[in-house]
Chains A and B, each alone.
Chain A
Amino acid sequence: MVNYDAVVIGAGNGGLVAAIRLLQGGARVIVVEKHNIPGGFATSFRRGRFEFEASLHELNDFGTAENAGDVRVLFDELGVTDKIEWLQIPEAYRVISREEKLDATMPFGVRAFIDKMESYVPGSRKSMERFFTLAENIHAAQAYSNSVNGNTDSKIMVSKYGNFVRTGSYSVNEVLKAIGMPKKARDILNAYWCYLGAHCDDLSFIHYASMVYRYITKGAAMPKMRSHEISLALAERIRELGGEIWFNTEAVRIITDEKDGGISGVVLKDGKEIATRHVVANCSPHVVYGKMLDKVPEKAVRALNARKFAGRGFTMFLGLNKSADELGIQNHNYFLYDTMDTVKQYEIMKNIDTNTVQATVCLNRAYPECSPDGTCMMYFTTLYMSDDWGNVKAENYFSTKEKAARIMIERFEKDTGAKIYDSIEEISVATPMTYARYCGHPEGVIYGYESQYWDGLTPRLLMMKEDYITRGLRFAGGYSMRLSGYSSAYFSGDISGRQTVGDIKKEG
């Protein structure tokens, strides 16, 4: 039987980073991936003369060499930054909401952002300054927490990072109201909420403010060759460090040690067994504890049953045979909402027939050369906040998919005035079924466990120790302690990889 110090299950963003961390820590590592390429959601695909980005809208917290974000720092440490060609996204976002008749385009840069907000919402300046002060404090507190590996001193937290602690238990809406931000400014500022997938009565202020702060101060980045470039760079690094990745290799069972109930091995689909005492699972804990582990502690079952699945993914990819100029697509990144009442919006997003909300990207507006001259590429993403796709039978699947795609296009044309329908040369649509198939996530969930009021970023980080239930089993990716999103998934791999190095060292 082959034997490794650690097995990483799943070569998604979290798994790839965890593997590099393990290798850097001296461990013998194998990554098993059921798909034929690395990256999980971080990939690309070709259709005709287009190469579509599969999921990345804009990488948060990367920055530039001069103004590096935490993801860049991590990538530097992993040794992959220079393997990738980066470009910067030109502006933060354009948000259009029907109910409020809102149409605002926001820039990167704190000063520019506050100024622009003041032009849309006179009198908002003071509250926006407060917001960025809080966000800066939060960012500093997070840096402190990372520097001590989460073992923070509560006295230091209260004395130096008081605003982190004081805002820490509140939702986005609770804090923004408390700092006296006018409603319209809140509406504009909350535009990013769909990136985190919980409405702003649930979503932790710390989490949201920290993301907004990183976007606005560091800008957003994108690899030129789509996220596939990042995934291949990470895979390349794993091989350089002596690690192995086996593709088309599905792990189906995780076996435990009779003595302590901890990890003792991984069984592959073809029956091959790998002996190991450490697994980093870059997949859903619901799948791991639901059907892979041979012994399942009740504590884990209760904890998982208590949690709520976040959004189920839907993305439509369009290759258009006219340029963005010709079609009237002005911006890189659009958020189209029915209402900025995020609680109400969340409800509307539960059903296939009612959900037309979208985060839509025209990559050519950041990278004109991404498709041939005289063409452009777009991708439209939404989340379904219930299991409505579970009601769709196989025989109705293709027509339902087409219906959902059609309403996304109509919505975009109506809200932005662009005309795209007749110029569609290539179209591909990914639904919850696609994500379920591709990454095995239950119900086609792409955002892991929802950031409910009680299950937000801060308590998850504070409880990492007690969430570690089965000896030798740690999680990375969107379901884990950093929640979902590219940067979060990379950080989760960093954390779980380093923790596993520690576990291995302790065993001697």
Chain B
Amino acid sequence: MDYRFKKQIFGFMDLLRFKKLVPNRRRHLEEGSPTHLPESYRVNDTAAVLHPGPQKAVLSEIIRQTADTKTYTFDLTSPMFFRAGQYVTVRAEIDGAIVQRPYAVSSSPLTALREKKLSVTVKKAGYFSGWLFENAKEGDEFTVGDPSGDFYHDGIRDSFHVVGIAGGSGITPFYSMAQAVKEGSEDFDLTLIYGARTLKDIAFADKLKALTGDKFRFVCVLSDEKQEGFEHGFITADIIKKYAASDDFTAMMCGPEAMYKFVGKELESLGITGKRVRKEANCIGNRDVKPVEYNLKVSIGGENFEIKARSDETILTAMERAGLKVPSKCRAGGCGYCHSKLVSGKYTISGIDKRRLADSKFSYIHPCCSYPDSDMELIVPNG
């Protein structure tokens, strides 16, 4: 169709207007204010509280909770706000190696925001935790990472009533949640069922008891001893039913895999499945194979390293052991922060492959959950 556009009475006036586009814009740009451009913006400032990035933190207090559990409180450089249930990474240099681990925050969100104090509660198990337990002292400097993870109550997705099921040191995120519910930074009803072996293995018993009220109930289930005022045995459907009172709840579990398996079945018998069961992921440990040593070539920010990797350890562990500064957060294969390009080599992923689809297509791996099966070459982001 032949059509000639005309808006003004005389067509040439449309052309004239076109000619003025440039001088008109030029004039606007020249008439802009000469005052310095802003160096900060309110939204970005708030974003920096929600995600402050890795920051220096001084260990200000160590409290022993049980024979093998301690709470470490850090003075942060900058305030932080998070969802109760999230974790942070704690990083230190140990014998020339830079090592970091994710730990669920055990203090409240408003304490981190208003007092710049943040606590993690650590059970003596594994390399870094063991080192912390034996060596860390007040005044030591660490690097604390961003609050991360999806283990928190979502007011849209989850029921208003949460039944928290904690096993051993899995109590940590729930202690943060109980405080958050009390201080008002989280809004839900929490019934906490805490499984431990004996009375002596219970962390925060008094503090949790003191927090109980309308929105927070707390019950302990001891597997290895009978005590007055405590349930005895495992966390069964009967116990869950007894304390949950109704079946309109979301179950949130944090503890060992064996507990997930057992309690998962108990929940299923109560009809609690699918979206109503949420589990915190556990760090991936060693695999049970005969250790074989492989050569690992790693390129980080243009620098190349040749290191050794053991077949029973994750590739991340190998890089950390060699003193390389590499990224890691969840150590469970899910967050993708260690996302690295595989140039060559074979590997096995521990558990479910949680990578993005295109990652496997273009050979990216998550070193935190991958074990080497041959010599390998990787391009890794800066840590």
Contacts and interface: CB of A to CB of B under 8 A. Distances in A.
B43 A443 contact: yes
B274 A166 contact: no
Interface stretch (B12-20, B95-103, B167-175, B201-209): B12-20
A306 B43 contact: no
B7 A170 contact: yes
A21 B59 CA distance: 49
Given A163-B5, A226-B358, A454-B25, A434 B382 contact: no
A37 B85 CA distance: 26
A306 B358 contact: no
A77 interface: no
A174 B50 contact: no
Given A225-B356, A248-B383, A402-B155, A46 B33 contact: no
Interface string B1-38: 11111110001001101101110111011111111111
Contacts of A2: 302
Interface stretch (B127-135, B239-247, B288-296, B333-341): B333-341
Contacts of A425: 157, 274-275
B154 interface: yes
A44 B275 contact: no
A308 to B, nearest CB: 10
A175 B18 CA distance: 14
B42 A226 contact: no
Contacts of A443: 41-44
Contacts of A244: 302
Interface stretch (A56-64, A89-97, A393-401, A472-480): A393-401
B210 interface: no
A409 to B, nearest CB: 7
B81 interface: yes
Among B25, B30, B334, the most chain A Cβ lie within 10 Å of the Cβ of B25
Given A169-B17, A232-B364, A301 B32 contact: yes
B18 A427 contact: no
A395 B98 CA distance: 33
B345 to A, nearest CB: 17
B212 interface: no
A246 B302 CA distance: 8
A393 B46 contact: yes
A229 B43 contact: no
Contact of B43 (A175, A239, A246, A389): A389
A235 B126 CA distance: 37
B47 A45 contact: no
Interface stretch (A325-333, A340-348, A455-463, A491-499): A455-463
A232 B21 contact: no
Interface in B191-218: none
Contact of A442 (B20, B25, B41): B41
B37 A286 contact: yes
Nearest to B152: A398
A443 B51 CA distance: 15
Contact of B339 (A37, A51, A301, A456): A37
Contact of A424 (B34, B48, B156, B334): B156
B351 interface: no
Contacts of B5: 130, 134, 162-163, 166-167, 175, 178-179
B66 to A, nearest CB: 32
A440 B39 CA distance: 12
B47 A436 contact: yes
B90 to A, nearest CB: 18
A174 B349 CA distance: 59
B150 interface: yes
B6 A166 contact: yes
Contacts of A165: 14-15, 18
Interface string A145-185: 00000000000001000110111111000110011000000
A465 B332 CA distance: 50
B51 A394 contact: no
A247 B364 CA distance: 13
A385 interface: no
Interface string A127-147: 001100110000000000000
A166 B14 contact: yes
Nearest to A462: B22
B111 to A, nearest CB: 12
A406 B32 contact: no
A289 interface: yes
B43 A225 contact: no
Contacts of B358: 44, 225-226, 228-229, 232
A444 interface: yes
Interface string B339-360: 1010000000000001111110
Interface string A50-81: 01000000000000000000000000000000
Interface string B40-72: 011110111111000000000000000000000
B47 A434 contact: yes
B44 A394 contact: no
Contacts of B39: 290-291
A425 B17 CA distance: 54
Contacts of A218: none
A246 B382 contact: yes
A249 B301 contact: yes
A167 B6 CA distance: 8
B185 interface: yes
Contact of A455 (B28, B113, B338): B28
Contacts of A51: 356-357
A394 B113 contact: yes
A103 interface: no
A2 B22 CA distance: 40
B209 to A, nearest CB: 27
Contact of A45 (B50, B185, B336): B336
Interface string B174-198: 0000000000010100000000000
Closest 9 pairs between A and B when the two form their complex, measured CB to CB: A306-B32, A390-B42, A247-B381, A290-B37, A302-B32, A169-B17, A305-B32, A425-B275, A225-B358
Given A51-B357, A433-B47, 11 more contacts: A2-B302, A36-B338, A37-B339, A162-B4, A232-B359, A236-B362, A301-B36, A306-B28, A389-B46, A426-B275, A460-B25
26 contacts: A46-B354, A46-B355, A51-B357, A134-B3, A166-B15, A169-B14, A178-B6, A228-B359, A232-B364, A247-B382, A286-B37, A299-B30, A302-B29, A302-B30, A303-B32, A306-B32, A312-B43, A321-B274, A395-B110, A426-B157, A433-B47, A437-B44, A442-B38, A442-B41, A442-B44, A460-B25
Interface of A: 2, 30, 36-37, 44-47, 51, 129-130, 133-134, 158, 162-163, 165-170, 174-175, 178-179, 224-226, 228-229, 232-233, 235-236, 239, 244, 246-249, 270, 286, 289-291, 296, 298-299, 301-307, 312, 321, 387, 389-395, 397-399, 402, 405-406, 409, 421, 424-427, 432-434, 436-437, 440, 442-444, 454-456, 458-460, 462-463, 466
